[in-house]
Amino acid sequence: MDLYDGLTRADMIQRWITVVGRSIENRMRGNLAFSLLRDGLGGDDIRLVSQKLTVEMEEKWMDDVTIIVHRL
C-alpha cells in the first residue's frame, strides 16, 4: 500500500483489480503478483521502476514485499 501514495484505499483496490484483470486477459495467469509489484513500482514507466530497483546506498539494504493474489 505504501507504493500508492496519494490514493485512497478504495482507489488502490480498484487499481489492483484492474491490473490483475488485465493480466488475466493477457494470459499472464502465473504472474499476477508480479504484475501488481510492477504496477506499484511504476508500471510502464521503465525509468521509475529502474530507480526503485537500483537504489544506491553505502550500507546493505533490502525492502521486503509480500503480495498474495487469492482467486475467488
What letter does residue 26 receive in the DSSP assignment?
T
pLDDT digits (tens, 9 = 90+) for 19-60: 999 888 887 666 888 899 889 888 889 888 887 777 676 766
Nearest-angstrom CA–CA distance, 72 and 64: 26
DSSP assignment of 1-54: -TTSTT--HHHHHHHHHHHHHHHHHTT-GGGHHHHHHHHHHTTT-HHHHHHHH-
pTM over 0.85: no
User: How many domains, in total, are found in the chain?
Assistant: 1
Residue 58's domain comprises 1-72
Residues 6+ apart with CB under 8 A from 4: 11, 12, 15, 40
